[in-house]
Structure 1
């Protein structure tokens, strides 16, 4: 009976997985200025917004621009979202003031855009400055854009502030260079000033002090983070007229268990309770959610947690956005909210607060972050309510924003820190090996004169850099496209260039660094055979060194390769547009002298295959192997769901899964990749069959119809390869064993798979973990693609297998390993909901691997309660949202 009750739920959720939309009122600002600083012409950015040149009549600057110069960036970074407003700058060496006439009754956004390039010969490291407002607020002090971006591998910075109404009817922004021994400068690429609805009316609850609140209506706020929880990036053009960036939250989800994501169906309507609530977040935020999942035992043993580095000695407001999409009665889902390990609210029930599903709401919680020895961070954690005994032990969140409030001195800038050691290890710009010394621009001295000397600080963000360093060590660093302390790093970027280069179209040639052939010859010692680390269909791969000490992998095309030009173009296009921790990073290319050469980050530990067999290296432990598989699954899931269109890798295999010096897995070799279906009506892409035998999807091979499930099939072979430590094809074996896919499936179905597992890991695998991985691999190899799981499903199952392994390894007795037939330890670490102070006794108890944090998740669930038959959230399948 329970099985029959569950069948309609699968259909329900498959329908619910379709993208949903909702109409919302668009805010029309009374004031809106977008200044393209340093430019003489107006232009449109990538979102189609018009930026006005700040030279128009020179009315924006109080001195009509006489104390500054217009300058152009000396180079283009492929991480820029568009050339406007970042390729021109207004540069100052003395105090300068922008003046804006504004409606005195409105609160205003102020967004400052910075791109840390060199400008007309002035090095990027030469800019140190402060920014303050006419309302007496210091927004930035001793700020070094160069230090910040290089330490955190960001291409540019947006600083967003929300200022209370200014009764005088005008708003000024004062840029002041920091006095230093050498000449220093202030600069800005773009300034946005726009009125906004007053979404900061009510005071915030002070966490830990039940009778205290914080007035945010009269405060100046800096946006530190803004997340579309469980969803993808929302650009300013899709934000109901408020032009905010909403970013994917996955790089900040803490721990091995990141829950599951869900998106409402196409006909679901968001019903805002008031105009203020309508502008708090766009419908897109409320139409998706991240929850804990369906396993009540698991959910009671961990917290759904986000952690975000912040500056010390400031008060912060965490705004949590909620909207119940599935349940309709109170006490079906209730949970506790913790901020910085203190109870912010007990027994939160979204339906209890809104009375019905589909009604959004938000809650503001304030907390003071003091200076800690190991760095500062904002922690937001959710845990199922134990006291209320709800129907489902679960928690949800739709959106999350973190705002910094000005202190009593009217300051938003962090104290001057010690110089960050992280800068020495920061990602270096193209052609830069050391922090360049600033040279004064020859005309600048004539116009503005010299600057005062004095000792200088490196900028307000060095402290954050130190904090982030600890976070990166703890979490194995996040991807260049998805990790950033401010929350303003773009997930996707585009770039245009007017210059074509060899085999690359004009729009690709400027996307990443260009190396000369002479550079490559020096890097590889004239292509020394002793530096060859691999050979593929494209050509040989060499180990090399550029910029003095940066290790790289250099792939040189084979002139006889039929796919050379196409693979070269595809690789540059794919890896220049995609950034993810689990994708190999493309540093640059060379196409001089008829060569086609690609330069990548060097992967210290080589390919996964080398560590399984035929590599002469010590065998990896089972835990290591599972970590690597999870990392690769994250990378593939990102390809399938993280870009505008699905990207199908088409050549997933163990030689294309690389491992860096920290044992982080990265998917590589995108030469055969294809964009997937571009419309909802398409289910596949018709194309010639390409890939590697032994990993090829049989359905794709027969019908020449490529889908993302073709990658899933190949990944299933990889999972069996990891378990058995043997090649996908081995002609030397008996006929029935030649194909790993066929042989492993046969063993799995007749129960003999444990007997053929790699002996070096057999005693390490928890039986439940083995079963989960083997079952997942079997499902991946289903004959028909429709029967295979998505990569999101695969990822969640592997994450769950890791938790099972953790539980097994954490047990003190009753262990058994694959094939030994003894009893299994069933102990699971316990988590006390709170201590005597109401704070969490533990943030998480599951998963200790630094590489095991889930970036994306989808879950296959089992539920036998007939009462839940009408709730899609707790049925058999929750589809992942695109990221």
Structure 2
């Protein structure tokens, strides 16, 4: 009895909160109109009308917002779903921004529009960047590759005080940022209440109040907005231009629910006396949401309707649930219970005294803050009350938003930096003009000294049109650190223009840190791939010279061949043999390329290992690749693997007296040798570590680093070793090949990548040992040899003899020779002098 009384008091308390806050909301929202101030068509000098909403997005140059001057505009001439995506503002500098003048404190809606279009001047799909506002990250490590065919709209709600407000765009290393359109406007007063009920489930189940100061200090990111029981509701129908998706994909027990008959009359938003309910209005949700619902098919108390929504794990979420009784013939006939995570929350449409909260056919809603569990889903249910006289459970709409706390890692915007710089100037003036002059002079000299270095490190890699302007000098003959570069490989710029149709964007087949890669056909009919640096930038010159030097001196079946290069009119272009099947990565994940079988993957790994082994031991002086990764292993028309991209390579001599090269750390995160990273001492074993990561990629078909995964899974090398040690390696294998792998082959393969990924380089095998082990893995897969669990090919004489005999069998490997006696001999047979 005491518990029942406590629950009644609790319900009354929160009902009273709803009544007070929403009566204020109804009064104020009745006169609200959406401001037109900040609807921006980014990167454009023309206004456009969005067809869906018939709303005008103002040309960026005429809007009242400001933006970074060091940015670019790109235009899309191809078909797009809306004129908003015809243009984009491109940011290549860190801490680029849009600035807004906030005249009224309140809750603001911010929408950012992204479509990674490709045109003759740009390909936005390679963009990677962060977006932030003061104290909050909006996007982290955003990758535009998934949004080339469909636009992405990210929506946020923020409490913003009067003053200047900036949205900051920060390109990631060797990339850029962009945005197509921005919507930014204040919402009706009390659109989100300062005091929201917190629902706790489990052992601490109950309702408490979310403090107003805490609510205002949070950012809300829209995760789901659902029209329950109806079709999608488009932006043009919603009074705040929101999209509502149908709920069918989230419903768990379809057999318990049915769509209601649509209510054809206008919804009666309650007006007048608001003292009896948490009433909705036209800005809370549109008519279309309240005119449809899911309703339970029976009044049986054993049935519930349940929806399951994907959400972030272990995170606070704001939930808004919409209700409107559109069936009952009289007030008070329908009431039912609400559940979250199968825990009772509250009885809907009936207060503790039995008085009906909402007039007939008037919509209302409830807000809660709920902390998600570790399942990655949010379960919401409605269930009937046995005493209900008519339809006893229904739901019209659901909104779920993630609550984000402020972060100290968000960089200060330009406004804050300006304040600090101003303070430094004042202090300098106080200390004396002499000190200030000295600082300015030193800073100027330092700027001159580092300008060239900054040009090389700048991450602006966007493509531009080819031009006939500029110097025609050859940088490779003027002060080159490589005077012996083979100048006989030079190809004229006009020949490369002809081959690539003047660098037509339609011929782009890839993009890397150096620049775009174009497919081309030379006049002699040879298919080639032309890798072009941004003209006139001066970026990448050392890598350009290194690649020519390395590839002009070596030839190997498993190293990509350099056909020629161009170094005229401020151009740096490398021309390679064309690799029909693209990169290994292209066939593993995030792609439409054909999936590789396990046998094909082993053949590819063996081929790449042969190429690397030749670099280390077969090439004069020894060469360390320094950037081994799946995107730098290319496949020809027969899926023969060839190692590519030698711009970061280092040459020896490496001998017994000096087994390493002291050099700055370069490479790709996720593949970097940790020992090299810490000591800056580069060795052959650094390539071995990177190749171990590639072996795991081939097995698991996922990226080396995935920041969206839980922390212990984000780094593939660490995750793969952990799973192997736990005996659950099979759980992370690419499902497309899981049934193809011989257990003995998998066991040896896992031993191989584990040895490659040892933290100490001295504990790793040589590439010769890796190649030997992979050939053994291939023979185990074919069933030519049988390996007992206790055997180890690296130390077992019997295993070595078995492997030698197995290598006499016909091989699927394009490189294996029937009479090969050693791996070194096989590689030598594949190499040729220049």
TM band (smaller chain): 0.3 to 0.5
Which one has a larger percent helix, Structure 1 or Structure 2?
Answer: 2
TM-score of the pair, normalised by structure 1 = 0.40
With the length of structure 2 as denominator, give the TM-score of the two structures.
Answer: 0.43
